[in-house]
Structure 1
Amino acid sequence: MGDKNTKIAILISGRGSNMIALAKAIAAPDFPAEVVGVLADKKDAAGLAIASDMNIATTSFERSDFTSKAEHEAAIHDQLVQWNADIICLAGFMRLLSANFIDKWTNKIINIHPSLLPKYKGLNTHQRAIEAGDSEHGCTVHYVTAGMDEGPVIAQAKVPVLSDDTEASLTARVLEQEHQLYAKALRDVLERQKP
């Protein structure tokens, strides 16, 4: 039986396919962590019901329910503290976190991004890779810093860009890699943090 002392909180905005893959991997007896909660910035995020079905605590904080970004982030922060979260995994969380929030969780927030960073920060990464005529594309797990998709890289997985690829076909192949890479990268982070 692995040591499950490290507490992971996962932040989502939608269906949370990376959250599901991550939670399943973490549930393995030898994975050195446990998921203590899934938090969404949308009440109707499909991933919340799935996480609940997996017996994971869930909550949501809708941005429109708060008067400011700072107030919204304070509520998220308080919930993470309540869950005793050690590491925050962003899994399709579509909000940029402020430097003020990130500073409270230095080297404790990781994200998965669908490109081989530093290439293609931001959105529409698959279409951009196809349009650029890239021969390979992929995904990156990285630490979250104040600059969008700029934090230190933890791990990457590559896929070839095929001549007949569409945005949908490339997205599907990269997503397959994301689902494997995220848990592997998280395990690496936990190994590195061991005293």
Structure 2
Amino acid sequence: MRVAVFASGSGSNFEAIAKSDELRNLGLEIELLVCDQPQAHVLKRAEKYHIPVFVNRLADYPDRNDYEQAIVDKLKTLKIEYVLLAGYMKVVTKTLLGAYPNRIINIHPSLLPKFSGLEAIERAFAAGDEVTGVTIHYIDEGVDTGPVIKQCKVVRLRNDTEANLEARIHQTEHQMYRQVILDLLNKNNEVAK
């Protein structure tokens, strides 16, 4: 299964996927990292795993359609089958969605539909929620509104700081994303038989 991973920041979810021997052994091929931030730490992680990078900034295009079309053109050249969003901080629009219907997966650090959008962990912590979590879903034209693939709860402990809670949410994300990709690989391998 040929995938591209999209990320904008530190890339911990990207690395959790890239370093998994189990996923690689089942046929996961990360052909490309797409990043919209030229200084993002995820670029160093991609270099560590010898994964090609496409840095693509919206500011370099006249509009979002042209920006996404450049990405689609690159993905088509590489015969990408799925797009995995891993901390990609841009809303995906119809240009990319149309090229990969039901094949773009996102991970979000809350139990959607609660705390969709930016700063989900911070907002859940500030609200005093006793339970938050992680959602993995297919994306659609809304913000964090696509069909849910999997959700896991993360309980807020009595003496949690925001940083402690965030660390446990990220740990849950890494395990969940790996499992969702594993399920997808197994499903694709069954279909191929």
TM-score (norm 2): 0.91
Bigger Cα displacement from structure 2, 164-173 vs 9-18: 164-173
The answer to whether the Cα contact below 8 Å between 2:7 and 2:86 also exists between their aligned partners in 1 is: yes
The answer to whether the Cα contact below 8 Å between 1:141 and 1:182 also exists between their aligned partners in 2 is: yes
**Unmatched tracts of structure 1, length 5 or more:** 1-5
Deviation of 1:62 (Å):
1.3
The answer to whether the Cα contact below 8 Å between 1:26 and 1:35 also exists between their aligned partners in 2 is: no
The answer to whether the Cα contact below 8 Å between 1:12 and 1:92 also exists between their aligned partners in 2 is: yes
Q: For the structure 1 residues 42 and 56, does the alpha-carbon distance in structure 2 shift closer, same or farther, using more than 3 Å as the test?
A: same
Moved over 6 A (4+): none
The answer to whether the Cα contact below 8 Å between 2:68 and 2:95 also exists between their aligned partners in 1 is: no
One of 149, 152, 161 as aligned partner of 1:166 = 161
Q: Percent identity?
A: 37
The answer on 1:59 being equivalent to 2:54 is yes
One of 90, 94, 97 as aligned partner of 1:95 = 90
CA offsets 1:103-146 (integer angstroms, 9 cap, x no match): 22111100110001121101221232233332211111110111
Tell me how far apart the structure 1 counterparts of residues 140 and 187 of structure 2 sit (CA, whole Å). Answer: 19
The residue aligned with 1:49 is 44
Deviation of 1:28 (Å):
4.8
One of 128, 141, 144 as aligned partner of 1:146 = 141
Helix, strand or coil at the partner of 1:111: strand
Tell me how far apart the structure 2 counterparts of residues 99 and 44 of structure 1 sit (CA, whole Å). Answer: 27
The answer to whether the Cα contact below 8 Å between 1:26 and 1:183 also exists between their aligned partners in 2 is: no
**Unmatched tracts of structure 2, length 5 or more:** none
Aligned residues: 190
Bigger Cα displacement from structure 2, 45-54 vs 86-95: 45-54
Tell me how far apart the structure 2 counterparts of residues 124 and 15 of structure 1 sit (CA, whole Å). Answer: 15
The answer on 1:7 being equivalent to 2:2 is yes
RMSD: 1.6
The answer on 1:110 being equivalent to 2:105 is yes
The answer to whether the Cα contact below 8 Å between 1:48 and 1:59 also exists between their aligned partners in 2 is: no
Tell me how far apart the structure 2 counterparts of residues 128 and 76 of structure 1 sit (CA, whole Å). Answer: 31
Tell me how far apart the structure 1 counterparts of residues 153 and 65 of structure 2 sit (CA, whole Å). Answer: 36
One of 150, 172, 180 as aligned partner of 1:177 = 172
TM-score (norm 1): 0.91
